[in-house]
Structure 1
Amino acid sequence: MLAPNLRYLEVNNVDDLEEIINKEKACQVENSGNILPLPKLIKLHLQLAPKLKNIYWSPLPFPCLQKIYVYRCPNLKKLPLYSKSGKHGENGLIITYKEKEWIEGVEWEDEATKTRFLSSCQLKV
C-alpha cells in the first residue's frame, strides 16, 4: 500500500528506471482509500539514475522527510514537493546535490515552494 513504513529509500545505479511510483498502479491503490505514499520517509537518496524523470506526479506532504540527495539524475526536473512538504524548523528538509546544473534546472511547484527549498539546498562537492 505505497510503503507506509518505509523510512529510507536509496535508488542507486539504475540505468532504466524512469519513475519511483508508477501513476497507474498507485491510482489503483489510492482509489481504495485515502492513502498517501511514503508517509514515514526520512531520507531519499537518488544516485546514478540517468533516466529517472519522476518520483511521484504530484506534491506530497512527506511529514517526516529530512533529506533528499540527488547525484547524476539529469532528467529529474521536478520534485514532489510543495511549500509545506517535509520537516520544518531547525531540522527541516535539506536537499543536497552535486551538480549545480541540476538544481538550476529544477521546476518548482510554485514560487513559495521554490523560495522555501532553494534556501535549504546544499551543493556537496
Structure 2
Amino acid sequence: MTSNLTLLIVIGALVACGVYLILERAVSKMLLGMILFGNAANLLVIMVGGPSGRPPILGSAHPVVEGMADPLAQAMVLTAIVITMGIAAFVLALAYRSFALTTTDQVENDPEDTEVAGRRAGEDPER
C-alpha cells in the first residue's frame, strides 16, 4: 500500500494546529481545535482504509480484488463526523452559557487548582 505524502503532511499540520488551539484558554479556540483534530483523524482513517476511487464492496459476482477499499473505515468516519458535530454543539452551548454569565470567552483558573499547583512547587499554602 502506498500513501500520499502530501496528505500525510496536511494531516500532521491539522493535528498540530488542533492541539495548539485545544491548549488555548478561550472556549471558541478550544472548539476550533477539537474540530481540526477530529477532521485530521477522519482523514487519517480514510487514507489507511484503502486506495481512493475503488468501490468499498464489489458484490458476490466479482472475485475479491486486492485494491478494494475497506468499508469499515468509511462507516467509522461517518460515525466520527456525527460525534464531532454533537460535541461541537455541546461546547457551543457551554460557551454561550459561559458568555451569558461572565461576558467573557476566557476560562479562568480554578482557585483549588492554583492551590494544589502551589503545593506541588513547594510553596507554603498559608502565605
One fold, TM greater than 0.5?
A: no
Taking structure 1 as the reference length, what is the TM-score of the superposition? Answer: 0.24
Question: Rg larger in 1 or in 2?
Answer: 2
